[in-house]
């Protein structure tokens, strides 16, 4: 029983020392992207992995830029699907109280990204070549730092469209969907060094 008590006190002390501390973060997680267009069958599951840096919290505020590799896309009702692989740079500002063993926080910030490897099954070459490479938007979320672990959930609004609609013809099968603004939800877990 004494060993268990000493172990618990040691973990709490480590949490006190590290819950709001700064450091590099290696993270990974799950993405789900969707768009509000009628001919879409469903969203598309994907994943993310990357690195970041969290500054030390001052008056509850901290800054966490990240560089993420993300894979996501769309599924259409006719069986076609779009797969996007992109690099994304979110610049998140966090706020949350330090509760000794943990630091819950809310965060928001802009992001920019570059889609460097689009592919599509059941889509024409014209549709694939018309896809926008650049993306930008804003994300908001909730998170929790416990010791060196960071758990976060985030919702992203992309202000761009999937494709440059001026360069695609109205007759293309997925034209309306490619004009839409993508949204995504992500859950991640990270380890801070």
| pLDDT tens readout for residues 107-161 | 999 999 998 877 878 877 777 777 778 889 999 999 999 989 999 999 999 887 7
Cβ pair 151, 141 in contact under 8 A: no
The stretch 9-37 carries a mean pLDDT of 69
At 64-99, the pLDDT tens digits run 999 999 998 777 777 777 788 989 999 999 999 999
**Residue 99 sits in a domain of what CATH number?**
2.40.160.20
Helix, strand, coil tally for the chain in percent (to 5) = 15, 55, 30
Which among 145, 152, 68 has a CA at the least distance from the CA of 107?
A: 152
Q: Does residue 3 have a pLDDT over 60?
A: no
What is the number of structural domains in the chain? Answer: 1
Tell me the pLDDT band of 36, cut-offs 50, 70 and 90. low
Host domain of residue 60: 2-192
């Amino acid at each position: 029983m004494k060993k268990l008590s000493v172990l618990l006190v040691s973990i709490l002390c480590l949490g006190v020392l590290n819950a709001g501390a700064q450091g590099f973060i290696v993270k990974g997680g799950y993405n789900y992207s969707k768009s509000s267009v009628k001919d879409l069958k469903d969203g598309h599951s994907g994943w993310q992995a990357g690195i970041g840096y969290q500054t030390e919290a001052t008056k509850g505020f901290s800054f966490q830029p990240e560089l993420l590799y993300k894979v996501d896309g769309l599924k259409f009702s006719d069986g076609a699907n779009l797969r996007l692989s992109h690099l994304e740079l979110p610049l998140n500002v966090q706020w949350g109280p330090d509760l000794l063993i943990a630091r819950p926080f809310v965060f928001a910030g802009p992001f920019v990204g570059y889609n460097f490897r689009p592919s599509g099954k059941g889509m024409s070459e014209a549709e694939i070549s018309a896809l926008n490479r650049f993306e930008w938007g804003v994300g908001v979320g909730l998170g929790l730092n416990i010791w060196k672990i960071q758990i976060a959930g985030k919702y992203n609004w992309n202000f761009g469209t999937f494709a440059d609609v001026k360069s695609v013809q109205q007759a293309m099968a997925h034209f309306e969907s490619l004009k839409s603004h993508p949204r995504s939800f992500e859950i991640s877990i990270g380890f801070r060094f």
